[in-house]
Structure 1
Amino acid sequence: MTVSPDLVCRDLVKDFDSFRAVDHVTFEVPQGSFFSILGPSGCGKTTLLRMIAGFQSPSSGDLLIKGRSMLGVPPNKRPVSMVFQHLALFPTMNIGDNVGFGLRQRGVARSEIKARVTQVLERVGLPGFSERRVEQLSGGQKQRVAIARCMVLEPDVLLLDEPLGALDLKLREHMKIELKALQSEFNTTFVYITHDQSEALVMSDKVAVMNHGRFEQIGTPHEIYYDPKTAFVAGFVGDANRFDAKVSAKSGSALSMVTQAGTQIEVEADASDLSVGQGAEIFLRPEAIELAKAQADLTVKTNTSVGVVTSVFFNGANSMVSLKDAKAGMSFNVALPQTGAFADLQPGDEVYTSWHPAKARCYAHDGA
């Protein structure tokens, strides 16, 4: 069954004098889905969100909510609500008054406000909190109040502008799970912007990766991580080893490459835009590299080399091991669990490495 979109943006452009902040962006967000816009600072994601909210007007293009164009519709007349990074709770009001503020502005009867505030606080896991003060709440509780204040208005689309950015790491990890659960509970369309790839990958049904005002790729978290369509996506989402190389031979999707360090490597990739002699960027996830203490123990027999451990970084359940190719001097990182045969690796240790040609991603070098 096809789900109709709650939000449609068509060829949106936003110019500030000679600077183009949003550059011909087109996408749809199905009803009841969690859609994240992921990108570095300055890529245009906040400008895009502000156009959806009505705080800024597009230079060209159109955006529709529930099939209705929002061009010329002021923010207070749009069926959207917005959670800001710093939440903007009113410190002089109790929680009930904070949540009911928008309803009072709409002239809703006091008895209905009380009933709706009570109901929405229960749904966000804060029953009986109406009389509490803002300063009595934890960071996570304040986040839920901010969402309750939006959801009590029953918006078609909830916009979230990096709402977890001000939280400490542990609370941020907890709130990622809570936010996704709340989105499922209300079955409301969430449009979420962030520069944190972990937030986007954990919570989203679809992720749009934005760079220089454009969408580089829209896909599921799995697609974005394992099948990045551009070099920017491959390098921005997740950790990756990056090598510059030239194509030395080509047969269909099979490519023989020579890196700048002189290492011969084999890659299986979409090679439609690559020709022999052309420069390319190769990206390889740290977890895609196999380690063994003897070459005979390697299960993958391609792209084998001997590496010397230069450093080991403890990262909780895993370690990131930095290696240098013993012959060509090419450096790369390998992700390893803390347990197993390599739990005691030390700088100076020598190990054998290999990786399957299909594990890498290869892109024509754009010269950037």
Structure 2
Amino acid sequence: MHETPDLECREISKNFDNFKAVDNVSFSVPQGKFFSILGPSGCGKTTLLRMIAGFQKPSGGDLLIKGRSVVDVPPNQRPVSMVFQHLALFPMMNIGANVGFGLRQRGVNKTDIKKQVERVLQRVGLGGVADRAVSSLSGGQKQRVAIARCMILEPDVLLLDEPLGALDLKLREHMKIELKQLQSEFNTTFVYITHDQSEALVMSDQIAVMNHGVFEQVGSAKDLYYEPQTAFVAGFVGEANKIAATVEDVSGSLLTLRTEQGRPVKAIAAAKGLSRGDKAEVFVRPEAVRLSRDEGGTAVNGGEGLVQSVLFNGANSQVLLRDGQSGSEISVALPQTGEFRDLTQGDTVHYQWEPEQTRVYSLG
């Protein structure tokens, strides 16, 4: 039996004069899923979220929640709630009053409000703090109060507009895990927008990568990372070495290219539609590149490199090489074996990667 999705957008678009901010976007989110819209500033993700919330009216298309069109439904009558980046908590109200605000607007009696406020505060790990001032809370606690204020209204869909953007780095890392746990606890559909790929990759069941008003690809974190369908997705999700090249030969699934600096590159399962003479972009993940002190190995891609710098970041340390033949720069993730712990600027090493680790996209 086909289950009606909690949220469905059908060819939704939004124009501002001659500018198309959202261009015929279609997607659906099943009940209880964490769906993220990931993209750079200005790609249209906030406009899309505001249309779902009802703050902006689409120029075309349809929006359905639980199978019912809400295009003409006012924001306060839609079964959605929204958490903003700056949370918008009321400083003159205590925590309980903030959380119960929506119920008061609905005319719920004080006794029921008090019970429901305590119940939802318990679920976000803040039981017994209803009488405290908002100013007494940490950044992470304020985040949970903002979510509690939304969840007490039992929305079908919770919209989150870059809610971690105002937090410091350490707290953001903690809240990524906590938000996913809260979403599972409430089993409510979350639609989350962000420009931070790590937030989307860690928390989401499905991610839509948005660029210039359209969805470039929708899939799981692993789909987007290991099987990017476009050059934009390959470059935006995760880190990658990007190399300009020209196709020299296509033989079944094996593609032979030559970089602008003259180095050959081979790829397997390359992007479709490429033929001899085409200009292309080659993407290789830093962790796909292997280092060795001596020349050798069976990989057909790679060469000799001079260490330009070593970027120590614990488990995510990298080394930046300059290819001895072409002069191009290659970023390599350092293995955690300790073998290259003493690597320093000016050292010469050999690097290589497999054709299967190479992603190629047409520039045409």
TM-score bracket for the superposition, by shorter chain length: over 0.9
Instruction: Compare 110-119 and 171-180 and name the one that shifted more.
Output: 110-119
CA offsets, 1:54-109, max 9 Å, x none? 00000000010000000110000000000000000000000000000000000011
Q: Would the alpha carbon gap of residues 271 and 130 (structure 1) be closer, same or farther in structure 2, given more than 3 Å must change?
A: closer
Which amino acid in the other structure matches residue 120 of structure 1? V
Which amino acid in the other structure matches residue 338 of structure 2? G
Q: Would the alpha carbon gap of residues 343 and 154 (structure 1) be closer, same or farther in structure 2, given more than 3 Å must change?
A: same
Deviation at 1:310, TM superposition (A): 0.9
8 A contact 1:281–1:363 mirrored in 2? yes
Question: Which among 320, 324, 329 is matched to residue 331 of structure 1?
Answer: 329
Cα distance between partner residues in 2 of 1:138 and 1:266: 52
Which amino acid in the other structure matches residue 332 of structure 2? V
The reply to whether residue 198 of structure 1 matches residue 198 of structure 2 is yes
User: What residue number does 1:363 align with?
Assistant: 361
CA offsets, 1:188-238, max 9 Å, x none? 000000000000000000000000000000000000111110000001111
Which amino acid in the other structure matches residue 34 of structure 2? F
Cα distance between partner residues in 1 of 2:129 and 2:87: 17
Cα distance between partner residues in 2 of 1:134 and 1:247: 60
8 A contact 2:209–2:218 mirrored in 1? yes
Which amino acid in the other structure matches residue 109 of structure 1? N
The reply to whether residue 318 of structure 1 matches residue 319 of structure 2 is no
Cα distance between partner residues in 1 of 2:336 and 2:309: 15
CA offsets, 1:254-279, max 9 Å, x none? 11100001101111133431010110
State the TM-score, normalizing by the size of structure 1. 0.97
Which amino acid in the other structure matches residue 202 of structure 2? V
| Structure 1 unaligned regions, length at least 5 | none
The reply to whether residue 106 of structure 1 matches residue 103 of structure 2 is no
Which amino acid in the other structure matches residue 319 of structure 2? V
Please give the secondary structure, in 2, of the residue aligned with 1:248: strand
Instruction: Compare 270-279 and 93-102 and name the one that shifted more.
Output: 270-279
Q: Would the alpha carbon gap of residues 271 and 202 (structure 1) be closer, same or farther in structure 2, given more than 3 Å must change?
A: closer
Which amino acid in the other structure matches residue 148 of structure 1? A
User: What residue number does 1:252 align with?
Assistant: 252
Deviation at 1:308, TM superposition (A): 1.0
Which amino acid in the other structure matches residue 85 of structure 1? Q
State the TM-score, normalizing by the size of structure 2. 0.98
Cα distance between partner residues in 2 of 1:269 and 1:339: 30
Q: Would the alpha carbon gap of residues 36 and 271 (structure 1) be closer, same or farther in structure 2, given more than 3 Å must change?
A: closer
User: What residue number does 1:53 align with?
Assistant: 53
Instruction: Compare 159-168 and 352-361 and name the one that shifted more.
Output: 352-361
- Counterparts in 2 of 1:157-172, with a 5 A limit? 157-172=157-172
8 A contact 2:255–2:270 mirrored in 1? no
User: What residue number does 1:95 align with?
Assistant: 95
The reply to whether residue 10 of structure 1 matches residue 10 of structure 2 is yes
Cα distance between partner residues in 1 of 2:243 and 2:183: 40
Cα distance between partner residues in 1 of 2:337 and 2:270: 36
Deviation at 1:338, TM superposition (A): 4.9
- Counterparts in 2 of 1:294-313, with a 5 A limit? 294-296=294-296, 298=297, 300-313=298-311
CA offsets, 1:237-293, max 9 Å, x none? 111000000001110121110000110111113343101011000110000001111
| Structure 2 unaligned regions, length at least 5 | none
User: What residue number does 1:354 align with?
Assistant: 352
Aligned residues: 364
Cα distance between partner residues in 2 of 1:267 and 1:161: 39
- Counterparts in 2 of 1:120-131, with a 5 A limit? 120-131=120-131
Deviation at 1:123, TM superposition (A): 0.1
Q: Would the alpha carbon gap of residues 227 and 30 (structure 1) be closer, same or farther in structure 2, given more than 3 Å must change?
A: same
Cα distance between partner residues in 2 of 1:316 and 1:133: 39
8 A contact 2:161–2:193 mirrored in 1? yes
User: What residue number does 1:218 align with?
Assistant: 218
Please give the secondary structure, in 2, of the residue aligned with 1:307: strand
CA offsets, 1:173-196, max 9 Å, x none? 000000000000000000000000
Deviation at 1:331, TM superposition (A): 1.3
Please give the secondary structure, in 1, of the residue aligned with 2:183: helix
- Counterparts in 2 of 1:19-34, with a 5 A limit? 19-34=19-34
User: What residue number does 2:156 align with?
Assistant: 156
The reply to whether residue 261 of structure 1 matches residue 266 of structure 2 is no
Cα distance between partner residues in 1 of 2:153 and 2:80: 9
Deviation at 1:110, TM superposition (A): 1.1
